[in-house]
Amino acid sequence: MKSLNMLFVGVGGQGILTASDIAAQVGLDLGLDAKKSEVHGFAQRGGVVESHVRWAPSVGSPTCEKGTVDILVAFELLEAARWIDWLRDSGTVVVNRQRLVPMSVSIGDAQYPEEEEILTALRQRAGQVLVVDALPLAERAGNVRTVNTVILGALSTLLETPPDVWEQAILRRVPPRYRDVNAAAFKLGRALQT
């Protein structure tokens, strides 16, 4: 692998920053240079979160350029649609089937598109769309907060990278008492593809 641009998107509180931290660390562990950059001003308050992760022999800008993202990792359906323009033609989308309804919809000013509409829009641009139902898998792993680890598991299957590099990066990042549930969540995420 020479270089890779990933964009992690979703809603504040979904564990996106931790997941993108881990993805950047995996790049370093694979012997590449890596950078990540996030915008999280109001993230705690249910706002949009974006986090760029870039791997290359030498990375300059910590953010990707629109239209050059190889893998869009969306933790929420609507956010996948919001950021699809950033994907390069025939890039890959990993999308979690969760719907987090924004205030503009709940107060009736806007409509949340149907899941099929969103997936159709994603497929117009993407070469591959991997739909992950991460919440039930995280519950099965033993903690709903491992949604992000399930998604990393699914993401890892798309890349020619040794799975244990990912698993080790995850286990180093999470508190010791959550290692078992995260290891389980990672395996459930991987099982989706392999």
Q: Can you give the binding site for another protein, defined by CB under 8 A?
A: 11, 21, 24-25, 28, 33-42, 44-48, 59-67, 78-79, 81-82, 84-85, 88-89, 101-113, 117-118, 120-122, 124-125
Shortest spacing between CB 185 and another protein, in angstroms: 18
* CA-closest candidate to residue 12, choices 37, 41, 43: 43
Shortest spacing between CB 167 and another protein, in angstroms: 18
Shortest spacing between CB 125 and another protein, in angstroms: 6
Q: How far is CA 146 from the centre of its chain?
A: 12
Give the residue with the Cβ less far from another protein, 81 or 159: 81
Cα distances (Å, whole numbers) of residue 194 to 88, 113, 156, 163, 172? 25, 31, 11, 12, 24
Give the residue with the Cβ less far from another protein, 23 or 184: 23
- What's the first-to-final CA gap in the chain, in angstroms? 20
Give the residue with the Cβ less far from another protein, 93 or 192: 93
Separation between Cα atoms, residue 19 and residue 50, nearest integer Å: 12
